[in-house]
Amino acid sequence: MILFLSVCVKSLIELGRRYEWPKGQVCPHCGGRLWGHGFVSGWFDGCPQAVWLPRYRCSICRKVVGVRPAGYWSRFQASIADIRESLAHRLKCRRWPSGRSPSRQRHWLNGLKKQIQVRFGMGWEGDLLEAFDELCKAGVRAASRAV
Ligand SMILES: [Zn+2]
């Protein structure tokens, strides 16, 4: 389970391990109080170096809760906005935008098709970007192949 904080990736880079831990964070699993539990490194598109991501540990259930910058899904280095932009370009222009590997972008499109299949059924034939937005609103990682 990942706890999302509204911290932009740039401020995470600037702060590094000097991250100011917000007080009063509660565990998404049990509602227990969270305590700072160190950092893990993460990589994001456009950042030349690894970013230190804070972690918490729950005082009651002892689970570790990670933090991601706002606008990023767990296990994705590209922002949700960049993924959507890439998919929109592909669907409109029938080719991938330059600057990112086509295979990576194809992975996102295949992930979206998989999520649509799972959430809306095999016979679904709507607009892919509308489905992307709807899945995002529902809290689904719309470009992920993981179900
Ligand atoms: Zn807990």
Q: Of residues 6 and 112, which shows the higher confidence score?
A: 112
92 CA distance to ligand 1 middle (Å): 45
60 CA distance to ligand 1 middle (Å): 5
Give pLDDT tens digits for 24-64: 889 989 999 999 999 999 999 988 889 899 899 999 999 99
Q: How many other CB atoms are found less than 10 A from the CB of residue 132? A: 24
1 CA distance to ligand 1 middle (Å): 11
Number of domains in the chain: 2
Residue 76 scores a pLDDT above 60: yes
Residue 10 scores a pLDDT above 60: yes
- Which of 68, 102, 121 represents a domain boundary (last residue)? 68
Q: Say how far apart CA 124 and CA 138 lie, in whole Å.
A: 17
Q: Say how far apart CA 97 and CA 89 lie, in whole Å.
A: 6
84 CA distance to ligand 1 middle (Å): 33
- The residue among 146, 2, 142 whose CA lies nearest residue 78 is 142
Can you give the pTM of this predicted structure? 0.83
Same domain, yes or no, for 64 and 89? no
pLDDT at residue 2, rounded to an integer: 64
What mean pLDDT, rounded, does the chain reach? 90
Residue 74 within a domain: no
pLDDT at residue 5, rounded to an integer: 67
Mean pLDDT of 100-110: 96
Distance between first and last Cα of the chain: 14
- Which of 15, 48, 68 represents a domain boundary (last residue)? 68
Residue 129 within a domain: yes
Residue 23 scores a pLDDT above 90: no
pLDDT at residue 146, rounded to an integer: 92
Q: Say how far apart CA 146 and CA 123 lie, in whole Å.
A: 20
Where in the sequence is the domain holding 12, given as residue range(s)? Answer: 2-68
Same domain, yes or no, for 129 and 91? yes
57 CA distance to ligand 1 middle (Å): 8
62 CA distance to ligand 1 middle (Å): 6
54 CA distance to ligand 1 middle (Å): 17
64 CA distance to ligand 1 middle (Å): 8
118 CA distance to ligand 1 middle (Å): 30
Residue 147 within a domain: no
Residue 49 within a domain: yes
